[in-house]
């Protein structure tokens, strides 16, 4: 094998070239910096905006008994501005106030709200806000129950005791720790899954496009004269993967700091967090990076083979559709894993090499996978990656120097047997 002056293997020279070409790019630097900024913004912005937004509501009470207690309770909430309007106020007038941005919405209480199962209606431009729905549902129910209790002769002390709310908190734990917020655990796992999915697909596609570009420009003919096709493919995958791993490591490091110092970060902006995020430990970071690395190698080998098969960017877009759909299947199965991380379905999905790079880190963060399961899943993924890389190298060996019609399935089989 021809070696350069420094005595480095061909694949390492190509990997270094691909790595430096991407790392020195202005866009690589911009995206690497923007990632942590976006993470901080995702933590800070919702808390700050939620505290600054004012809910302006008006109440139309046809019972004459519910508006006053509702105004009293809701007005004490931070960011709520509530007032009662006459029961004879037409809906058209209130709708016009919403349109003119004088109010955000209005609550209509029917006259029979205290006697039967009448529906209390809220209409507003913020009706899709979960906080609005939850607060109004809880507050209106309590006010109606209190009014019915008074009408039935129940004393104020008894009503207070009966209507005293009981908070129900869900904590995710597998029995090895006290537990953290179930919603926070799901959010952390989902974010990790999404980042890995996006990183794999972006950098694997970059491998394919690099092969297609060099094949279209006939640069690959010069490179093939100096190095074997297997070295070309391995170098491209390692170089692009190294750039992706560096970027992901920066993002995960920033995510680790953001999660662990979330309270202090929000305090700088005068906001507070609503839940405690589970800690992102060193072993969790190692699992995330490991599955990204081998997941990338697995899919990058497939994309490299696709790049060698096609002759243009348009053909590449069509050829990669089945692979994209295959990678999207685990994304659709997120609820299966998060709903029962120790279940049979989650266990099977995280052992299959097509889905394990995306789903296993999430399952591990949720405490659903043991060390033995992670080791078995990783072994299957590594073995599958070596097999796919070997077959992809055989396709690349023939495909990168072929132009014209895209090969048929039979021809691909012959290439892989060659």
Pairing of strands 105-109, 55-61: parallel
Q: What's residue 337's pLDDT?
A: 86
Q: Are residues 141 and 191 in the same domain?
A: no
Is there a single domain that holds both residue 296 and residue 246? Answer: yes
**One pLDDT digit (tens) per residue for the chain, 418 residues:** 444 445 677 778 888 888 888 888 888 888 888 877 877 776 676 666 655 567 899 999 998 888 888 998 888 887 889 999 999 999 999 999 999 989 999 999 988 888 767 788 999 988 888 888 888 988 888 888 888 777 777 777 776 676 676 666 666 665 555 555 556 667 777 777 887 888 788 888 888 887 777 777 666 556 666 667 677 778 878 888 788 778 877 887 777 777 777 777 777 766 655 455 566 678 888 888 888 888 888 988 888 888 877 777 778 788 888 888 888 888 888 888 888 888 899 999 999 999 999 899 888 888 888 889 999 999 999 999 988 888 887 777 776 666 666 666 666 667 666 6
For 109, phi and psi rounded to 5 degrees? -110, 115
Residue 59: the pLDDT is 93
* Residues 36 and 110 grouped into a single domain: no
Instruction: Please state the pTM of the whole predicted model.
Output: 0.66
Work out the end-to-end distance of the chain between its first and last CA atoms, rounded to an integer number of angstroms. 21
Per-residue pLDDT, 145: 82
Q: Are residues 300 and 201 in the same domain?
A: yes
Model confidence over 160-173: pLDDT tens digits?
Answer: 676 676 666 666 66
Residues 288 and 143 in one domain: no
* Cα–Cα dist 343/409, whole Å: 37
Asked if residue 110 is part of any domain, the answer here is yes
Between CA 134 and CA 132 the distance in angstroms is 6
Residue 368 lies in a domain: yes
Domain that holds residue 242: 10-45+182-417
* In a domain? residue 222: yes
Question: What gap in Å lies between CA 167 and CA 405, rounded to an integer?
Answer: 66
Residue 264 lies in a domain: yes
């Amino acid at each position: 094998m021809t070696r350069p002056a420094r005595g480095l293997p061909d694949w390492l020279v190509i990997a270094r070239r691909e790595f430096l070409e991407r790392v020195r790019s202005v866009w690589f630097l911009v995206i690497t910096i923007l990632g942590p900024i976006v993470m901080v913004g995702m933590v800070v912005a919702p808390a700050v905006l939620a505290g600054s937004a004012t809910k302006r509501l008006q109440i139309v009470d046809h019972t004459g008994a519910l508006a006053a207690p509702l105004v009293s309770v809701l007005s004490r909430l931070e960011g709520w501005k509530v007032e009662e309007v006459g029961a004879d106020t037409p809906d058209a007038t209130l709708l016009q106030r919403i349109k003119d941005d004088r109010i955000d919405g209005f609550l209509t209480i029917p006259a029979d709200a205290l006697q039967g199962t009448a529906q209390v209606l809220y209409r507003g431009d913020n009706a899709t806000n979960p906080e609005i729905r939850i607060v109004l549902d809880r507050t209106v129910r309590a006010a109606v129950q209190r009014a019915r209790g008074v009408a039935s002769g129940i004393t104020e002390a008894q009503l207070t005791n009966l209507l005293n709310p009981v908070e129900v908190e869900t904590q995710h734990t597998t029995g090895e720790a006290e537990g953290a917020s179930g919603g926070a655990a799901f959010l952390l796992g989902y974010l990790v899954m999404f980042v890995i999915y996006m990183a794999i697909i972006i950098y694997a596609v970059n491998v394919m496009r690099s092969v297609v570009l060099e094949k279209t420009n006939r640069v690959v003919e010069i490179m093939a004269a100096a190095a074997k096709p297997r070295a070309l493919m391995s170098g491209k995958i390692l170089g692009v993967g190294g750039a992706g791993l560096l970027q992901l490591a920066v993002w995960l490091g920033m995510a680790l700091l953001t999660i662990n110092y979330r309270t202090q970060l929000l305090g700088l902006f005068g906001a507070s967090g609503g839940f405690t995020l589970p800690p992102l430990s060193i072993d969790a970071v190692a699992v995330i990076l490991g599955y990204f690395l081998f997941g990338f190698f697995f899919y990058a080998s497939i994309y490299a083979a696709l790049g060698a098969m096609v002759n243009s960017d348009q053909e590449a877009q069509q050829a990669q559709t089945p692979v994209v759909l295959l990678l999207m299947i685990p994304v659709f199965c997120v609820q299966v894993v998060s709903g029962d991380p120790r279940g049979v379905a989650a266990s099977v999905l995280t052992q299959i090499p097509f889905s394990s790079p995306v789903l296993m880190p999430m399952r591990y963060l949720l405490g659903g996978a043991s060390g033995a399961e992670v080791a078995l899943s990783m072994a299957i993924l590594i073995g599958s990656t070596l097999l796919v890389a070997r077959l992809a190298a055989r396709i690349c060996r023939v495909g990168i120097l072929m132009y014209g019609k895209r090969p048929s399935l039979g021809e691909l089989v012959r290439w892989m047997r060659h």
